[in-house]
Structure 1
């Protein structure tokens, strides 16, 4: 327990410096919203804005208020990103779909086919509603929620007019990211919007059924990113064999939370199995750290970044291991928590400038020049992991 106390002290200090880094360097006082392309010291190296990160930032600061109490600077940051999203990031000519990137001023740059921008917009508005009671934010979240559900389940045509990546007549399938991310969206919506609990519970079961029955393949020792519509593995080409250990581990704690909500012991055990298979297959036995992609059959991965060490899989491992240890008391999970924290201490955390490096080479050294943010990295995974791991440890310690 002494080790847990020491780690909690470090985590609390890291959360404080991480949040301070983004408040000082990321927020745009001119146009609103947040810049996330920041170098090691926090200097902006690209003014294009990630729409994902506007939603994620708004959610993060709202969630911090939910956990630790409202602070003016957190509320202001969340509101700035929400306002920027509403004013600049919605493509009203495409059914209310959101863009993927915009300029500093908010002019549209890029639209993408998948609906993760909408997902982060949804949870941002939901979490902000949860701390303010702003009914318009709940209405926005509900509209986005319904749009995502319809798109994920093929109930409507994509209003952007963008088709699938592959020619559907030749090959079609399903992606783990859709039920996985929607399961997390549901958990937030259900917490702040109990009036629609029955709907959320029904949709959550659809998500876990899809993950367990279609993507999780214990006979292969992995959870596949892409499968045929009926869940059949397609192992004769590289995309059909992709395993993203960090994704699987993130999925495992989403499922643990859902299992705890339902009181479903079997679902929790399945989530634990997903964690175990992913961490043991994905951990780099030579250099340490979690590999980005691996191949289900041990064949060469196609992605050139497959052996890099990225921040977010380690963040998800922190959360999942801490929650699994809290729920089971099994030292297996405590050992993985400490092993991951040791790696993060040594390789990701920047004690000089604050925040964590985003991208490491396989040997654990930051890519050159090192970066703290990008289109995909902003104030989300690191603060979420620090906050949730700190919460889990506090629950374990009982103080």
Structure 2
């Protein structure tokens, strides 16, 4: 925590020392959500509430680009001066869930209002209802190529689940938007005939397999998407949607798990051709966190030991390669053979207090549901 300027630093070396004071806006929102989430699960603690509020205050005071329609920056300096703006809506998404989760604890309506504003902004941008006020435009020249990205509906589906829980007054709106998200994922990105879920399809929702970007599969993303969809299926009581989510998990983990070295590959090609991303065969921390969450939920819901076996296999791999028994926490980035690429590093612009505590807490809660509270250790 930055006691001087507020918010959180996430560029930490192996021992926890800050090696860069630039701040990730994603991580301000993710940290605020994480500590609020932990308070909801395990009871409010002053240091957790203080951490969440510090990040929320920093976001509000320094991370909003008011000249660009309330879009949020991607990175800022230690004191909060803007450094970088990105076209993607993920800063806004993490801002929304942070404020929503905090509102659920405190009942302070300003936080729900902030979450609602960000929610509507993301929805409008994702659905082309407004021009991006940053002026950045799409990643590729739209006259040449435009399309749909899996990240948009899947992340928005997760945002909806949190918003709906704390804001029941707008349940009808959330239910409608959630159905739009799952329909988009199943209709366009889920491709059982290819044995995968595609990251990108064309504007009409069809695969374009003649170039590398059209064949990208991110198994960790697919697995994260699967548990978002399982949660939605359980909310609706939709068995068919749950089975689709299970199949998304199975296709991703069967294709993405490294048969030689273990661990989940970062990118694979839908047609088995070369991938363009240089980091394609690395093992990153967060996909393994997503396996833990998705496998535990699928096992709870189905009783199929297939999912329990994947949970245990992933925990074994993660303890052997990601976890640091000397200083704690997880390494973020491994070579294909399981050795850390940056053994002196624990945090970065992208890795902070989010995926690991989310996975540990959610997996613990799910397993407790399975075995019963009486068998769980006291908090």
TM superposition score category, shorter chain reference? over 0.9
Check conservation: 2:96, 2:115, Cα contact below 8 A.
yes
The alignment partner of 1:231 has SS state of coil
Q: 1:204-353 maps to which residues of 2 (within 5 A)?
A: 204-353=178-327
Residue 174 of structure 2: aligned partner: 200
Residue 187 of structure 1: aligned partner: 161
Q: Distance in 2 between matches of 1:369 and 1:398?
A: 39
Check conservation: 2:333, 2:342, Cα contact below 8 A.
no
Among residues 93, 108, 127, which one is paired with 2:82 in the alignment? 108
Q: Distance in 1 between matches of 2:203 and 2:227?
A: 25
Q: Distance in 2 between matches of 1:146 and 1:366?
A: 40
Among residues 140, 143, 152, which one is paired with 1:169 in the alignment? 143
Q: What per-residue deviation string (whole Å, max 9, x for no partner) do you get for residues 167-211 of structure 1?
A: 101100010000000000000000000000000000000000000
Q: Distance in 2 between matches of 1:270 and 1:191?
A: 24
Q: How far did 1:230 drift?
A: 1.9
Gaps of 5+ in 2: 374-379
Q: Distance in 1 between matches of 2:253 and 2:138?
A: 31
The alignment partner of 1:155 has SS state of coil
Residue 157 of structure 1: aligned partner: 131
Q: 1:44-59 maps to which residues of 2 (within 5 A)?
A: 44-59=18-33
Among residues 45, 55, 63, which one is paired with 1:81 in the alignment? 55
Q: How far did 1:369 drift?
A: 3.6
Q: Distance in 2 between matches of 1:280 and 1:371?
A: 30
Q: What per-residue deviation string (whole Å, max 9, x for no partner) do you get for residues 343-392 of structure 1?
A: 01101111211111101110001113431111000000000000000001
Check conservation: 1:359, 1:370, Cα contact below 8 A.
no
TM-score (norm 1): 0.93
Q: Distance in 2 between matches of 1:201 and 1:370?
A: 45
| 2:339 pairs with 1:365 | yes
Q: Quick check: 359-368 or 101-110, which moved more?
A: 359-368
Q: What per-residue deviation string (whole Å, max 9, x for no partner) do you get for residues 20-47 of structure 1?
A: xxxxxxx111100000000111111111
Q: What per-residue deviation string (whole Å, max 9, x for no partner) do you get for residues 129-179 of structure 1?
A: 000001000000000000000000000000001111111011000100000
Check conservation: 1:311, 1:348, Cα contact below 8 A.
yes
Higher relative contact order (CA closer than 8 Å, sequence separation 6+):
1
Q: How far did 1:116 drift?
A: 0.3
Residue 2 of structure 2: aligned partner: 28
The alignment partner of 1:109 has SS state of strand
User: How big is the alpha-carbon RMSD for the aligned residues of Structure 1 and Structure 2?
Assistant: 0.5
| 2:346 pairs with 1:376 | no
Q: How many residues matched?
A: 373
TM-score (norm 2): 0.98
Gaps of 5+ in 1: 1-26
Q: Quick check: 369-378 or 288-297, which moved more?
A: 369-378
Q: Quick check: 360-369 or 376-385, which moved more?
A: 360-369
Q: How far did 1:235 drift?
A: 0.4
The alignment partner of 2:364 has SS state of helix
Q: Distance in 1 between matches of 2:148 and 2:13?
A: 36
Structure 1: 4+ residue segments shifted above 6 A: none
